[in-house]
Structure 1
Amino acid sequence: MLPTDLLMFRVKAGLVQPRVLNPTPGNRQLTELLIQTFQSSLGRQRAQLEDELKLLEAGRSDYRVLRGLAHILATDHSEFETGSLTDPASVRSRVFELVQAHPPSRLRRGAVLAQVAATLGQTPEEIDRLLYADLPGEQLLTRFEPPEPEALLTRFNLAQAQGMLYRAYSLIITARRNEPARYKQLLKYTKLFGLMVTVEGDADTGFTLTMDGPTSLFGGTTRYGLALAKFLPALLHVTKWDLTAALKPRRDLAWVDPADEEWTFELTSEDGYVSHYPEPKEHDSALESGFEERFHKLGSPWRLEREVDLVPVPGGVIIPDFRLVHPDGRSVLLEIVGYWRPEYLIKKFELLRRSGRTDVIVAVSERLNLERAGVGVQDFGERVLFFKGVLDPKRVLALAEPLLAETGD
């Protein structure tokens, strides 16, 4: 992401619009020039690279664009190291010990370096360079993986959009019917970044995810806003969505209208932003992929859908593995429990209980020792299906038919 001083945006009628770089010949030329500058700086000090970048930005009105692109190249595509196996901190420690033992003077500097060099098997010149080799400016550019120019532009645009969420205190996402595994990845990232989410809706009409931000929870801190910014690339993998965020106006900018009490930032899946997070896997396990393969071979009139339902639960959300849709449109959900860790099993079944849903079939591998894990399944009655090795779709459908009748769905 970008630091606050490199964020570029305008506010029109309370609506925040981040800076977007289009792949024009001029912008492509700038990215190519920056990439070449980094490539030619391999093996050189960071300070030397920064000097080269200052020369490039001299006289440019868009110097902040250049700095933003360079920041992304330095943080996402580069690696800086001290360039020595000897730890600079240990070198400084030995030098300071000698200096303390013998009052320093200009004449003695060379002697101190020579003594430390002798103990480490290096030259005084090497010791002199190593003294502060771990300072950022002294570190060497040891690796650079050049992106494609257009990929750098899209990453810059996303970083600008992410920066708009630094000061967000309310975030509402409307996610409509999506491709398999998208919802699961979305919820995984809310947990990863410590976001608190409330879910409403259903698979047919879509889901509304509401997240509270720093103002309502933590006062003026931007810690939660940073988490929301990190979450945005995960949202981009969801195929159909709209986002609305309420932001605190920035008072440190002279052009900001002091009468503004709130800004709004809006995004949709049609805005063209590109995620750099990995694509979600279609299946979480061989159990699920095998079940889906066997189901399709049946030629059943039922339709099998993957992970299209978010089941709101107090204190969490369940994303069943499959949705089984009857030809008349009624449906039941299927959760396959094949993971053995006790903590996981306890949490999984507790969430299922709290959901209060009676339209969920729970398929449990007999390899799991539920009794040892302290998990009881009596509450689920006939909705529990135990299986060995592979899960037979015929058994699942045999249970689904009467379950539809019971739920009156």
Structure 2
Amino acid sequence: MLPSQLLRIRTRKGEIFPLFCGEEDKSRHLELAKIIINEFQESAANKEKKKILNERISFLESHFDDYRLVRGLSTLLERRCQFNTTISQRDENCGISVNPIDIRRFLWEESARRGFALTESLRDEILCDVASKMNISSTSIMQSLWSDLDENMVIELFSPVGSEELLAWYNLSLLQTLLFTCTRLEFSVRGGANWKNILRNVKRLGLMYNLREQTNADESADARNVHGGKSRHADLKNNGGHDSKLVCSIDGPVSLFKLTDRYGTSIAKLVPFIVSSSWWYISASIIRKTMSGKKIYEFRISSSDVQKNILSEPLRNDKNNNSINSNSINSNSINTGRSTPSYFDSSIEEKFAIKFEHLANRWKIKREPDPLIVGKGVAFIPDFLFEKYGRKVYLEIVGFWTKEYLEKKFQKVSEILLNSNVDLFVAVDEELSCSKPFNPSIYGISKNRIIFFRKSLVPIKKLQEYLKSIDKEQIDANMFDSDLKIRFDGTKDVISIEEISDSYKVPIEIATAVASRDNEVDYLRIDSWFVSKAKANTVAERLTGAMKFSEACVILSENSIPEICHAGLISKLGYDVIWQSMDSDDALLVKRN
């Protein structure tokens, strides 16, 4: 975050926009960033005082048309510097360490005893007396007298950063500074992992938040209200095919009665977590002082409005970082402490996901989906989502638990089930119980929705049976749907079920069932393919006299029958395959009576 006086913005028709670097005149901004970085590197190499560096930066300000930009970039680079804050210096003549604070105290005491030093001779006498008492030279006293002031500190170390990284860091800091004075903040991201990370930090930072679901219609209305009927953001017109999205609302620091600076800093610390998501959206009301008094401006920005990596924090160079004491970094520097989490929170989840994918039957499994909203705007993020036919089934896996923890967890589950039409299962590790179990039925939760497991292995039978029941329900419903017909025109002898599914925009199971119903007279279903009976008859004629399975496979391949269908079609045509060994060339073809 930057000091508020360095905020660069423009306003228009009730809206406010930060002036990001790199969007326009990028080459000029990159050149400026490079020059400022070089100034810091040169000062660090020469161990110069801070006031000399400040003079160089002031010179750049006078030759660049935007002093706020120059000063903002240099402010950020100062946070990558280590200044010599040691207030003890050694007298070169006597080899004695001297403290500027002690020197000033002795001088003021001696001056107070003698009276004001109104002449040079009296001043020199006081210096000599103090130097004699401290056993150092008068020259050392003058050199050390104000050596602990900020402008006299020496740059000991500078952790360099690239020009583009500096501009991206500046843009992020500009956004943080703008949101520091917001009266409200709303944001949205996608993906349960992103939400979990952000909400964890919302709570850690002590921010007051509320969650709600927003539809595309709500977004469009909001956009028209702000932009006079035309949406500025592509995401507001089409939310990537999503019918709705989860929005988190946070009370802004200006809406509070006290602790506004501290609260505003907490909001600024949250911003990097939001913009690090692949898709994000921010809306805020910003209060600004104008000539006519305070005025509220609307601010909106999304990931589609800015170039990739234009808002990010630089990484520290490990070599330099090891040498820099974290206490020496400017206290205004915001340390988000972000790290890249592993894909699974535990080996239990990983084992379950691998096992389920082998038996998924085309149900899509998603790790940490978008949160479910519990009562009072609180989020609940299940571990897994299973999706098919537009139906969603969730699973939450509970590791270590106490009776109180499960009661709290099932209270959330109960609120979700009561307030929304959500399919949710909860898996509980019996071996990791820290107290006696309790009866979930008191919360209106069926035992069929509870999966107990041991040895870190979550059984999938109960969940799989439920998903299969949904498959059957969907297939039965479509089998009796007179409006859904899949009739082949006879131009193709071999048709894949996947091709049918894509063509008719229906799931594979439904495509298989309906196509079998509507084409049973003219086609045979072999595994995941349909083969016309005319083609099957042609193959049957050519198989007459074939003695080996390998010969039959050659005939089928010549007739464009997929290899995966060979064994199935041969069986449908009344043949058995007798295996003599593991070698398919030895397998015999025998006609059934």
Aligning the two structures, in what range does the TM-score lie when normalised by the shorter sequence? 0.7 to 0.9
- 8 Å CA contact 1:167–1:247 kept in 2: the answer is yes
Q: Which residue of 62, 66, 69 maps to 1:62?
A: 66
Contact 2:451-2:459 within 8 A present in 1 as well: no
Structure 1 stretch displaced more, 274-283 or 184-193: 274-283
For residue 179 of structure 1, report the CA deviation from its aligned partner.
4.1
Whether the 8 Å contact between 2:400 and 2:432 is mirrored in structure 1 is yes
Q: Pick from 444, 452, 456: which aligns with 1:386?
A: 452
User: Are residues 220 and 364 of structure 1, via their aligned partners in 2, closer, same or farther at CA, if it must alter by over 3 Å?
Assistant: closer
Q: What one-letter code is carried by the residue in structure 2 that aligns with 1:271? A: D
TM-superposed deviation, 1:8: 0.9
Contact 2:165/2:312, CA 8 A, preserved across alignment: no
Residue of structure 2 equivalent to 1:80:
83
Q: Flag the structure with more relative contact order, 1 or 2, with Cα contacts below 8 A and sequence separation at least 6.
A: 1
Kindly report which structure 2 residues correspond to 1:3-42, keeping only aligned pairs within 5 A, or say none: 3-22=3-22, 24-42=26-44
Question: CA 1:94–1:233 in structure 2 vs 1: closer, same or farther (change >3 Å)?
Answer: same
The 1:104–1:271 alpha-carbon spacing in structure 2 relative to 1, beyond 3 Å, is farther
Following superposition, the deviation at residue 223 of structure 1 comes to: 4.1
Go from structure 1 to structure 2 and tell me whether the alpha carbon gap of 1:364 and 1:46 turns closer, same or farther (over 3 Å shift): farther
Q: Which residue of 2 aligns with 1:169?
A: 183
Contact 1:180 1:305 in 2 (8 A): no
Question: More displaced, 26-35 or 396-405?
Answer: 396-405
Supply the distance in 2 between the matched residues of 1:292 and 1:85 (Cα, whole angstroms).
61
* Structure 1 residue 59 displacement after superposition: 3.7
* Structure 1 equivalent of residue 263 of structure 2: 224
Decide whether the 8 Å contact of 1:186 with 1:238 is kept in 2. no
* Structure 2 CA distance for aligned equivalents of residues 44 and 393 of structure 1: 67
Residue 399 of structure 1: CA displacement?
7.5
Most deviating of 25-34 and 267-276: 267-276
State the distance in 1 between where 2:348 and 2:134 align: 62
Equivalent AA in structure 2 for residue 207 of structure 1: L
**TM-score, length-scaled by structure 2:** 0.57
Shift of 1:2: 0.8
Q: TM-score, normalised by structure 1?
A: 0.79
1:348 and 1:141 map into 2 onto residues whose CA distance is: 55
Superposition deviation, residue 280 in structure 1? 4.2
Residues 78-157 of structure 1 mapped to structure 2, 5 A cutoff: 78-83=81-86, 91=99, 94-95=102-103, 106=123, 107-112=125-130, 116=134, 132-157=146-171
Partners of 2:63 and 2:146 lie apart in 1 by 32
Residue 35 of structure 1 aligns to a residue in which SS? helix
SS in 1 for 2:456: coil
Contact 1:14 1:263 in 2 (8 A): yes
Cross-structure match for 2:50? 46
- How far the C-alpha of 1:92 sits from its partner, in A, is 5.3
The residue aligned with 2:251 is: 212
Among 305, 312, 318, the alignment partner of 1:271 is: 305
**SS of equivalent to 2:185:** strand
For 2:370 and 2:467, locate their aligned partners in 1 and report how far apart those are by CA, in whole Å. Answer: 19
Alignment of 1:190-269 (within 5 A): 190-201=202-213, 205-218=244-257, 221-251=260-290, 254=291, 258=292, 261-269=295-303
Coordinate RMSD, CA, aligned: 3.7
Q: Separation in 2 of the partners of 1:336 and 1:163?
A: 40
- 1:367 and 1:134 map into 2 onto residues whose CA distance is 61
Shift of 1:154: 1.6
Q: Return 5+ residue gaps in structure 1 as ranges.
A: none
For 2:7, the aligned partner's letter is L
Evaluate the alpha carbon distance shift between residue 299 and residue 8 of structure 1 in structure 2; reply closer, same or farther with a 3 A threshold: same
Q: Secondary structure at the match of 1:209?
A: strand
Identify the range of structure 1 (220-229 vs 27-36) with the bigger mean alpha-carbon deviation. 220-229
Closer, same or farther: CA 101–51 of 1 in aligned 2, 3 Å? closer
Letter in 1 for 2:370: D
1:238-275 CA-to-partner distances (Å, cap 9, x unmatched) read 33333221122323xx4xxx387421011011122423
* Structure 2: stretches of 5+ with no match in the other structure: 91-97, 115-122, 215-241, 314-335, 418-422, 472-593
Q: Distance in 2 between matches of 1:365 and 1:64?
A: 58
AA paired with 1:137?
E
Corresponding residue number in structure 1 for 2:411: 353
Alignment of 1:266-305 (within 5 A): 266-272=300-306, 273-276=310-313, 278=338, 280-281=340-341, 282-305=343-366
Letter in 2 for 1:275: S
Give 1:97 shift.
6.8
Amino acid at match of 1:262: I
Shift of 1:377: 5.9
> Per the alignment, in what secondary structure is the counterpart of residue 162 of structure 1?
helix
The one-letter amino acid of 1:15's match is E
Structure-2 separation of matches of 1:125 and 1:315? 68
Letter in 2 for 1:293: I
Give secondary structure in 2 for the equivalent of 1:361: strand
**Cα gap change, 1:284 to 1:396, in 2 (>3 Å):** farther
Residue 187 of structure 1 corresponds to 199
**In 2, Cα distance between equivalents of 1:209 and 1:56:** 42
Distance, in Å, in 1 between the alignment partners of 2:15 and 2:446 is 52
What is the distance in 1 between the residues matched to 2:207 and 2:427?
30
Q: Is the 8 A contact 2:100 2:148 kept in 1?
A: no
Distance 2:173 2:348 in 1: 38
Contact 1:166 1:229 in 2 (8 A): yes
User: Does the CA-based 8 Å contact 2:131-2:141 persist in structure 1?
Assistant: yes
In 2, Cα distance between equivalents of 1:18 and 1:56 = 22
Measured at CA, do residues 377 and 12 of structure 1 come closer, stay the same or move farther in structure 2, by a change above 3 Å? farther
Identity rate of aligned residues, in percent? 27
Between stretches 351-360 and 242-251, larger displacement belongs to 351-360
